[in-house]
Amino acid sequence: MSANIKFNSKKSVKQGDSLVTKFTYENSIVEGDGVSTFDVTPTATDYEFKTDLKVPKTGLLLVGLGGNNGTTLVGSVLANKHNISFETKEGVVKPNYYGSVTQSSTLKLGVDKSGNDVYAPFNSILPMVHPNDLVVGGWDISKLPLDKAMKRAQVLDVTLQQKLYPYIKDTVPMKSVYYPDFIAINQKERADNVLNVDSKGEPDVNNKWRDVERIREDIKKFKKDNGLEKVIVLWTANTERYADIIEGVNDTADNLIASIKNNHSEVAPSTIFAVACILDQIPYINGSPQNTFVPGAIELAEKHKSFIGGDDFKSGQTKVKSVLAQFLVDAGIRPLSIASYNHLGNNDGYNLSSPKQFRSKEISKSSVVDDIIESNRILYNKEKGDKIDHCIVIKYLPAVGDSKVAMDEYYSELMLGGHNKISIHNVCEDSLLATPLIIDLVVMTEFLSRVSYKKADEKSYSDFYAVLTLLSYWLKAPLAKPSFKPINGLNKQRLAVENLLRLLVGLPVNNELRFEERLV
């Protein structure tokens, strides 16, 4: 859905293919002990933002192209691009991008003369790349052609798959990096399309810098062959085990590069892809829970001013948790425990049945309430070690396939010893929730790469900081700038994205004071 919007703001002016906007960022600096003494000083800083309005021809390379998410992403783009409808027992289904914020949600513009809210499509505020225009490719450790990989995934309706086959038949992913120690042993049978093999055809983990260089070559060739102006790489492959953070190995950019060249055992495949992208300033997003962005990788991204984002898609259960936990704490209710149980039957669940890979997922899911707890010292006394008991269980159950079953219990304390228990049973088709997140992450990453800023007294513009924290809305365990704490509250994350778009077109940041109806 398109919309024609005219912004009548004196704060923004179009200069050629760019929109230049003045904005005053207001905040408050708080000093004191943070418990009983607060010394609050309002601050204001004048900025100038510049947005490139020209949308480049963009390519998307997926690591894990032949998996559930990869084949679903390819299928969704092709179905929408070619307007492929299909029939189910419930009727005809027309292609859409439901579940995508950028494609299927709206943003408040303001109010009409009667004080009623007025909304417009999210992607109509400023030019954004359309998913139909993405050129999609990628790598996979499995050489199964995409038509057969899509059938193996068992996500899309069979009738739709049959209509998609002519577009993807015989399309084989590029060979990927496979270090057996980082994913479950049960994935070995799928690994028949491996970039790093020795003369005997076995995985070679003794030439990791060569792997970096080959990935860089793959990206350059993909960009050239398709006449692309920009490429974004996103990891949607298997969850890896956590890499140990070791001083002198992966703690700094220089040490990480040296460790790759020395074939250190704690350099993961996902980090190999990240480094390859960072060195050539290719934005790289990690959609799985492992710690791809070790400290050395973040420092390397800072050094090369290359965008990174992660970790782990925030699709179903965790998204609900970030909303519900925030609601309870904001309401003055004290959650005591959160018990989360999942079972699923896709290959992600199969891989997560291995303890080391499960631990990566457990860490990413458990951190989602950390900043919510720290926001309320009345309910949680940090000095006394108050916390929420948080239990996470994931079981592999083949019969349910891609339909992940999630059951949560929130047990909270009310006034005067009372208690409240909220139980939620959620069944979701995992890849059909994750795929729209991939679309949003790619669309927003490309958009953010066209925005620059400077303070009013500065001469030159700068890009955003390397870690794109504005992507946090779509990520389960969002990265933060070192020394800063990540924001997990979903409403805060969404508001940040909305307000950025508003300020870039000269609108005031959103508020709900609604003086139109509250004042005489």
What per-residue confidence (pLDDT) applies to 365? 61
Q: Same structural domain for residues 206 and 334?
A: no
CA distance 490 to 60: 26
Given CA atoms 141, 146, 148, 153 in this order, what sign does their dihedral have? positive
- Quote the domain boundaries for residue 240: 58-72+137-156+171-313+433-451+464-499
What per-residue confidence (pLDDT) applies to 15? 94
* 76-90, 234-248, 314-328: range with lowest mean pLDDT: 314-328
**Active-site amino acid positions:** 312, 361, 404, 476
Q: Same structural domain for residues 395 and 272?
A: no
Q: Is residue 343 part of a domain?
A: yes
**Tokens, residue 115:** 């004080």
For residue range 160-172, what is the model confidence (pLDDT) as tens digits? Answer: 999 999 999 989 9
Residue 184: band (very low, low, confident or very high) from pLDDT cuts 50, 70, 90: confident
Q: Which of 314, 401, 384 is nearest to 68 (CA)?
A: 401
Q: Same structural domain for residues 330 and 209?
A: no
Alpha helices in 353-423, H assignment, sequence order:
355-366, 370-374
What per-residue confidence (pLDDT) applies to 187? 82
Q: Same structural domain for residues 149 and 256?
A: yes
Q: Which of 201, 410, 199 is nearest to 191 (CA)?
A: 201
Q: Is residue 518 part of a domain?
A: no
For residue range 434-475, what is the model confidence (pLDDT) as tens digits? Answer: 999 999 999 999 999 999 999 999 999 999 999 999 999 999
Q: Same structural domain for residues 67 and 191?
A: yes
What per-residue confidence (pLDDT) applies to 65? 97
Radius of gyration of the chain (CA): 24
For residue range 356-369, what is the model confidence (pLDDT) as tens digits? Answer: 666 665 665 667 78
Q: Same structural domain for residues 274 and 211?
A: yes
What per-residue confidence (pLDDT) applies to 128? 98
**What residues contact 354, with CB distance under 8 A and at least 6 apart?**
183, 184, 185, 186
Residue 143: band (very low, low, confident or very high) from pLDDT cuts 50, 70, 90: very high
What per-residue confidence (pLDDT) applies to 286? 96
Residue 353: band (very low, low, confident or very high) from pLDDT cuts 50, 70, 90: low
Q: Same structural domain for residues 176 and 308?
A: yes
**Tokens, residue 446:** 């490309």
Q: Same structural domain for residues 279 and 183?
A: yes
Indicate if the pLDDT at residue 386 is higher than 70: yes
Q: Same structural domain for residues 350 and 391?
A: yes
Q: How far apart are the first and last CA of the chain?
A: 38
What per-residue confidence (pLDDT) applies to 320? 85
Q: Same structural domain for residues 199 and 216?
A: yes
What integer best gives the mean pLDDT of the chain?
Answer: 92
CATH number (domain holding residue 253):
3.40.50.720
Q: Average pLDDT in the 112-124 region?
A: 93
Answering whether pTM is above 0.85, one says: yes
- Cβ–Cβ < 8 Å for 63, 211: no
Q: Same structural domain for residues 191 and 304?
A: yes
